[in-house]
Structure 1
Amino acid sequence: MSPLDISPQRGDAGDGIGGRPPRIDGLAKIRGEAAYAMDQPVEGLAHAVLVTATIAAGWVRGIDRTAAEAAPGVLLVLTPGNTPPLHAASTWTGEAPPTSEYRPLEPEIRHVGQQIALVVAESLEQATEAATLLRVDYEAAPFLADFTVPDAGEGQDLPPLTIERGDADTALASADIRISAEYGTPREYNVPIEPHGLTARWDGDALTLWEPSQWLDGMARNYAEWFGIGFEQVRLISPYIGGGFGSKALALPHGAIAAQAARMLGRPVKLVLTRPQTFTAFGGRAATRQLLELGADADGHLLAIRHRGWQETSRNGLWVEPLNAATALMYEVPHLSSRQRVVPVNTVTPSAKRAPGENPSAFALECAMDELAYALGQDPLALRLRNEPGRDPHSGKLWSSRRMREAYAAGADSFGWARRNPTPGAMRDGPLRLGWGMAAGTYPVRRSAGEAMVRILADGGVEVASSTSDMGTGAYTILAQTAASVFGLPLARVRVTLGDSTLPRAPVSGGSQMAGLMTGAVDKAARAAREELIGLALNDPRSPLRGVANTLAVAEGRLIAPRGEAPPLPIAELLTAIGRDRVEALRDTLAENGLKPEDRYRAFTTVSTMRAPTDGEYSMHSWCAHFVELAVDEALGSVRLRRIVTAFDAGLLYNPRLAESQIKGGIVMGIGQALLEGGIVDRRHARVLNNNLADYLLPTHADIPPIEVISVGEPDPHASALGGKGVGELGIVGLAAAIANAVFHATGKRVRDLPITLADLC
């Protein structure tokens, strides 16, 4: 039986794959029983406080530690002047470091908020007080606050993100209709509810870290290389994560210095970043700017797109936000010219935030498509349908599955799109102008190998173990469902252990790949354990079923002869009879991903073996269509969302309840992006002014309208072992554009820079 046979996609699959059980870890979280990394009790704990730079560029010429070191309870004060270097670690892609040394505290300052000192004391209060006693002598240097100022210039070309397909210039010149517009997104921050932090403890040369992590094996490798110890000497523990959205996938400088302090002191050290420090200790989404020119014939067929993109990065690191990610493949466009540049500024190096690349790319593209629809006098949905590509226009490969037409149809039907008056400002509800807008989104299917252990226990229950993490996406539940499907067990009989780097390996929980790769690994291990159990039942001389049949089935915790040759035998009774306390199988999916056993370490500790969406015969992506209704108060300029309908194709949903929750979570983040969020930079000092949860505005429950999500997907056997495609990052892609398009429909005002504020509409 193939993996795709285990359960059809329907809501009545019980506790197996395709069923809708609630999270198995939900009650523990609600009751406060779930112990997160920072909740773990560790004896002999010392507390650390990070001190950060107050200038944007220059050097620390000296730090007077005298008063701080004399303060009550202080154990250690680390500065650039008294901290030995660590070994440089290889990159997350597996490349060798450019230098041999790494200094988590360095004297050269490249951005406000860069860490420059660490104070460790017996209590958090003592460390906090002592940190204020440090006296820092700076030598300031010129800086560039952000890339919107004239001095930012054109930036540096990124050849890998240059696409020239056909002759866009000539095609644009001959187009019947052309639109040209520039779109911008500000810095956006991950702001997970659980701040970043860690507890580090050394036992000789063995390092244990309790740290929220989306990638335990990758981060463990980083620490091992920093401290020159073996990979197996690092244990990273992260049973739960209070949100990450990409920000907890890599080992960061504050982790290095906290672990270094623990080693120097010979006792455990706990460091938790303050909320303002979470805006500067690691990067969020880079600010972007995109110029899009679209040309079409009089019927609305796209002829050409000319795309120019700019994004900021830091002075000491390169982060690329691929701004043509959606532009290159969303529509049938024979002529495309896309170029992107990066502009180094004095900020922390940007990093991953939900759907990096696809998110800003879709914002610009989907707003531009709406503008083109109005220029043509066509319905925005009809224009998109007219330009649906039959295959990936960039790679030329067939889609593994693309149910965009079905998503458009289902979303439009549920939303009532046919009742839309196309004239901007024509739809009203008393003093309110109503806007109906729509947009499309996509996210690629990335694939990595996974590894899992499945144990059949003496009581007939099953245990699943892997180092993969659950950051709230439902990994505990869907992996339990995977095993439950194979053994025909209720979820109550399946125990899942995750979030410990000593367990079987797993790659990064990012790129919306975790569910697909880990359900495949667990399914493979569970089937292997089941086959071994059946073999023991048929062949062990002590088995009550020996010689009864030539095959057996396993269901409801029992071994069953296919034609009733013997009564069903509970697994627990078989194991007791043959003197076994467990049957277990460790399996990986290296071979399925074209890898060999010797690739195991690299596959799980770097992203160098991650397969791209077009690696293979097909182009593999998830898809969605958003429909938004909002109301704009003409007098106040306020925007209130009234309802959102999103139809999506993510293949088979392992648990529709959890997948729908993930789509809704992405939509909520998209609401924040469209209407609230944005880092405000004081250009006089290159400082983020709203580095707190009072001023960095996030959507609350009152901001969220009724949201309906509709799955139109079918199992995609090319995308994953069980037929699912990525869900976690899909929901945010295109949502901000749908809101911006609805604002235009309500007001006739085209807002091209996020977030959309009162000032834009008054």
Structure 2
Amino acid sequence: MTLIEPRKHGDASDGSLGSRLSRLDGRRKITGSATYALEQPVENLVHAVLVQSTIASGRVVSVDKAAAEALPGVLMVLTPDKVFNMMVASDWFGNRVENVPYLPLPAEVNYYGQAVAAVIAETFEQARDAARLVKVHYEETPAVTVIDQGGSGTVTAPMTVEWGDAQAAFDTADITIEAEYRTPREYHVPIEPHGLIASWQDDQLTIWEPSQWTHGMARTYAEWFEIPFENVRIISPFIGGGFGSKGGAYFYGAVAALAARELGRPVKLAVTRSQGFTAYGGRASTRQTLKLGASADGILQAVIHRGANETSTYADFHEGTGAATPIMYAVNNFSSQQGLIKVNTVTPGALRAPGKNPSAYGIECAIDELSYAVGIDPLEIRLRNYADHDYQSGKPWSTRKLREALLAGAERFGWSNRSAAPRSMRDGRTLIGWGIGCGTFPNLTNSSDAMIRILSDGSVEVESAGIDMGQGTYTIVAQTAADALGVSVDRVDVKLGDSVSAGAPVAGGSMLAGSITGAVHKAAQAAREELIGLALNAPNSPFSTSGANTLVIENGRIKTSREDSPSMSIGELMAMLGREKLEVKRDTLPEGTTREEQQKAFTHMSKVRGPTAGEFSIHSWGAHFIEVRVDEDFGTVRVSRIVSAFDCGRLYNPKLAESQLRGGIIMGIGQALLEEGLVDARNGRVVNNNLGDYLVPTNADVPPIEILSVGEPDFEASVLGGKGVGEVGIVGVAPAIANAVFHATGKRVRDLPITLEKLI
């Protein structure tokens, strides 16, 4: 077991894979030299501003735009009656309805805040002022504005999981519990809001837009405008956070690109912070009922799960409340169903650990409730019901160090000092509670591509369309290339975020790191072998009599393994050869993949391999131990201490992995105590659509967080043995806090967030 210790001042790092190298893009970001999408210096730029609906359901009857068009600088007002000449694009999995027009500003209104018009003007101020003058007339129809107005929902067969006879086992169990758990709407609110600059040159479209998936977004724009994929270029070298919200192109991108084509000038459209609450979807609100049946000694006999999430009236989105439930614990009788409830809202989207997050909230609170019902310690009941294999698929785990995570976390946290009874630990008028929550996230993989370029001075360039939105892709790619080539990491320059570069999958589902490092490693090894071959065969080479197996590259120098070996730098070899550069491109696609299949692999999700695609079930795991302090008089909750232990396989860079895991944990604090999308049930308006009213954790809300790693390399998960890190950190945090609050107060809060009025 390896523990990640906090880095001490003065610790050195050699930059090799597995070292705690600081982020290579960090200096550019803190000095302001990293240029983000909306900062691109594009000439002759004009600005677009959206006009939003003020009803939740109905139809646009007419738009009075005369006053707006009369203002100085206004170039165009787009309305639903505009003929856009665009076509519906395929979804993430490659499904496409043929010959259906795409209407980015539809007349049909499906939710409050939907864009129904756009104004384009010479300056942002002119466009904003004109947008305020646009008058929209509606024919309003009844709306369903919140999940509780939508009934029980429609059960979807793909989300149903059954084995054994759960109802019969529940009915005969010694101990049973049944409870409903709820999570509200949550929003991404990345530090960099959404938006783009669109520019046409003849039939070539260039988009500067923050993107978690440059190839996938380029494919969407190409299909919208019915132009070849190669005619679209998405440029996104730096992204200020995404958390799932920047994985696809949205209607506002189509509006900007259309206006740019119509006007023959680049168009900039910046989505405001308040518009970001309806321009794309956050996490759907959910409700789930869990029924657990167990023997008197706490062994699970049955789990019955019934969940539902809200979706929009015009598209289905599954926030799988049963995603984690089937694999967390050993149980021979299981039943889970998932329903969808149609609501007049923007279609929800993927937000960090979609599905697994609310699912873990339900099962981890329920297992805690069971521990009290049986009279067994919350740690012990998890160990007694430890799953030694995947009960859902029947497959063995590739690696599952959740038991080790629980034991290591408990030891470091001091769990054995816990007083079992609720309200039994205090500091004066402050109640103290300790709670546990476990989490998981499936290991998803996809093929990737990478270009390695050796330059004449011996430096190295790595190119990929993969992106870095803060998770450290620049750094681990440089470390991977440097390790495989035998050069110093400071000699490697990484170029990311351009759809004309080598293909890469979406930065989502924790799949990018494992996918891209496999391709970079393969390309770098091939480049290394080519360099060695050139060194052996070049005229006048000092290695001409050496065998191929005797040459090595270390610290950028080529030599044999003998102590008295001659040596030369890679730059000296390139000069001797008269070469300006050496390029090697490799991918991790299956042998014989056609060009069409290759493009589909990088532009759709249909080629993504799930956690049980092979002989094993492959997942990341985590266990959180959390202390809360609750003011007995006022009911305020503060998280005061966190120890979290994870099995994420090999960590390519422990410092960056630790940062990602901490980030997820901090988001979990927000989910548990602060975040809640408040909707006016009368009209569907998001009331707190700003960062003054939609609360997220600040530094004052974040306690000391200690991260432990108990994982080992898992080569079933990826070429280099890593498993996903970015998503799993948030999973299990909210239930750990809820369980700690119960231990502190004796009050069980089952609907998030946990606010003072629910405790006093």
For the aligned pair, the TM-score class normalised by the smaller chain equals: over 0.9
Cα pair 1:548 1:566 within 8 Å, conserved: no
Partner of 1:5: none
Partner of 2:97: 97
Partner of 2:361: 363
Give the superposition deviation at 1:462: 1.1
Q: Which amino acid letter does the alignment assign opposite residue 474 of structure 1?
A: G
% identical equivalent positions: 58
- For the residue of structure 1 that corresponds to 2:586, the secondary structure is strand
Partner of 1:584: 583
Q: Deviations over 1:208-246 (max 9, x none)?
A: 000000000000000001011110000000001001000
Q: Which amino acid letter does the alignment assign opposite residue 356 of structure 2?
A: E
- For the residue of structure 2 that corresponds to 1:243, the secondary structure is coil
Partner of 2:634: 636
TM-score w.r.t. length of structure 1 = 0.97
Alignment of 1:35-114 (within 5 A): 35-97=35-97, 100-114=100-114
* 4+ residue segments displaced more than 4 Å: 10-13, 594-598
Cα pair 1:91 1:97 within 8 Å, conserved: no
Question: Which 10-residue stretch deviates more, 545-554 or 530-539?
Answer: 545-554
Determine if the alignment matches structure 1 residue 560 to structure 2 residue 554. no
Residue from 717, 734, 737 that aligns with 2:735: 737
Partner of 2:689: 691
Cα pair 2:323 2:359 within 8 Å, conserved: yes
Q: Deviations over 1:23-80 (max 9, x none)?
A: 0000111111110111110000001101111100001111011111110100111101
Q: Which amino acid letter does the alignment assign opposite residue 256 of structure 2?
A: A
Q: Which amino acid letter does the alignment assign opposite residue 127 of structure 1?
A: A
Matches of 2:314 and 2:545 in 1, distance apart?
69
Matches of 1:564 and 1:411 in 2, distance apart?
47
Cα pair 2:179 2:291 within 8 Å, conserved: yes
Q: Which amino acid letter does the alignment assign opposite residue 571 of structure 1?
A: I
Matches of 2:533 and 2:91 in 1, distance apart?
45
Q: Which amino acid letter does the alignment assign opposite residue 18 of structure 1?
A: G
Alignment of 1:471-490 (within 5 A): 471-490=469-488
TM-score w.r.t. length of structure 2 = 0.97
Cα pair 1:400 1:619 within 8 Å, conserved: yes
Q: Which amino acid letter does the alignment assign opposite residue 101 of structure 1?
A: P
Alignment of 1:42-441 (within 5 A): 42-97=42-97, 100-149=100-149, 152-441=150-439
Matches of 2:577 and 2:29 in 1, distance apart?
39
Residue from 750, 757, 760 that aligns with 2:758: 760
Matches of 1:548 and 1:663 in 2, distance apart?
48
Matches of 2:294 and 2:398 in 1, distance apart?
28
Cα pair 2:76 2:119 within 8 Å, conserved: yes
Q: Deviations over 1:242-285 (max 9, x none)?
A: 01000000000000011000000000000001111000010000
Q: Which amino acid letter does the alignment assign opposite residue 345 of structure 2?
A: T
Residue from 656, 659, 670 that aligns with 2:657: 659
Give the superposition deviation at 1:548: 3.2
Matches of 2:177 and 2:369 in 1, distance apart?
7
Partner of 2:723: 725
- For the residue of structure 1 that corresponds to 2:525, the secondary structure is helix
Cα pair 1:23 1:476 within 8 Å, conserved: yes
- For the residue of structure 2 that corresponds to 1:688, the secondary structure is coil
Give the superposition deviation at 1:139: 0.8
- For the residue of structure 2 that corresponds to 1:87, the secondary structure is coil
Partner of 1:18: 18
Cα pair 1:12 1:19 within 8 Å, conserved: no
Cα pair 2:532 2:548 within 8 Å, conserved: no
Cα pair 1:83 1:105 within 8 Å, conserved: no
Matches of 1:345 and 1:99 in 2, distance apart?
28
- For the residue of structure 2 that corresponds to 1:148, the secondary structure is helix
Q: Which amino acid letter does the alignment assign opposite residue 677 of structure 1?
A: E
Give the superposition deviation at 1:157: 1.3
Q: Which amino acid letter does the alignment assign opposite residue 319 of structure 2?
A: E
Cα pair 1:543 1:578 within 8 Å, conserved: no
Matches of 2:595 and 2:43 in 1, distance apart?
39
Matches of 2:201 and 2:733 in 1, distance apart?
49
How many residue pairs match? The answer is: 750
Q: Which amino acid letter does the alignment assign opposite residue 131 of structure 1?
A: A
Q: Which runs of 5+ in 2 are unaligned?
A: 1-6
Q: Deviations over 1:602-646 (max 9, x none)?
A: 100000000010000000000000000011001110001110000
Q: Deviations over 1:126-171 (max 9, x none)?
A: 000011111111111110011113xx11211110111111000110
Question: Which 10-residue stretch deviates more, 153-162 or 190-199?
Answer: 153-162
Q: Deviations over 1:641-698 (max 9, x none)?
A: 1100000000000000000000000000000000000100100111110000000011
Matches of 1:608 and 1:697 in 2, distance apart?
36
Q: Which amino acid letter does the alignment assign opposite residue 55 of structure 1?
A: I
Q: Which amino acid letter does the alignment assign opposite residue 704 of structure 1?
A: V
Matches of 1:13 and 1:137 in 2, distance apart?
63
Q: Which amino acid letter does the alignment assign opposite residue 414 of structure 1?
A: R
- For the residue of structure 2 that corresponds to 1:518, the secondary structure is helix
Question: Which 10-residue stretch deviates more, 387-396 or 77-86?
Answer: 77-86
Give the superposition deviation at 1:546: 2.2
Give the superposition deviation at 1:550: 3.0
Q: Which amino acid letter does the alignment assign opposite residue 714 of structure 1?
A: E
Matches of 1:544 and 1:591 in 2, distance apart?
38
Give the superposition deviation at 1:540: 2.4
Matches of 2:481 and 2:338 in 1, distance apart?
45
Partner of 2:467: 469
Cα pair 2:485 2:527 within 8 Å, conserved: no
Cα pair 1:452 1:587 within 8 Å, conserved: yes
Alignment of 1:595-634 (within 5 A): 598-634=596-632
Give the superposition deviation at 1:99: 5.3
Matches of 1:577 and 1:568 in 2, distance apart?
13
Give the superposition deviation at 1:319: 0.5
Q: Deviations over 1:321-362 (max 9, x none)?
A: 111111111100100011111001100000000000000000
Q: What RMSD in Å do the two structures reach over aligned CA positions?
A: 1.3
Matches of 1:125 and 1:597 in 2, distance apart?
46
Partner of 1:7: none
Q: Which amino acid letter does the alignment assign opposite residue 349 of structure 2?
A: S
Question: Which 10-residue stretch deviates more, 736-745 or 30-39?
Answer: 30-39
Matches of 2:627 and 2:563 in 1, distance apart?
59
- For the residue of structure 2 that corresponds to 1:384, the secondary structure is helix
Matches of 1:98 and 1:663 in 2, distance apart?
42
Q: Deviations over 1:418-452 (max 9, x none)?
A: 00001000000111000000110000000100100
Partner of 2:3: none
- For the residue of structure 2 that corresponds to 1:642, the secondary structure is strand
Cα pair 1:667 1:735 within 8 Å, conserved: yes
Matches of 1:279 and 1:741 in 2, distance apart?
30
Give the superposition deviation at 1:85: 3.4
- Structure 1 residues 12, 176: CA separation in 2 closer, same or farther (over 3 Å shift)? farther
Give the superposition deviation at 1:565: 6.5
Cα pair 1:86 1:226 within 8 Å, conserved: yes
- For the residue of structure 1 that corresponds to 2:148, the secondary structure is coil
Partner of 1:32: 32
Q: Which amino acid letter does the alignment assign opposite residue 197 of structure 1?
A: G
- For the residue of structure 2 that corresponds to 1:543, the secondary structure is coil
Cα pair 2:84 2:258 within 8 Å, conserved: no
Question: Which 10-residue stretch deviates more, 99-108 or 380-389?
Answer: 99-108
Matches of 1:640 and 1:491 in 2, distance apart?
42
Give the superposition deviation at 1:543: 3.2
Determine if the alignment matches structure 1 residue 574 to structure 2 residue 551. no
Matches of 1:705 and 1:566 in 2, distance apart?
54
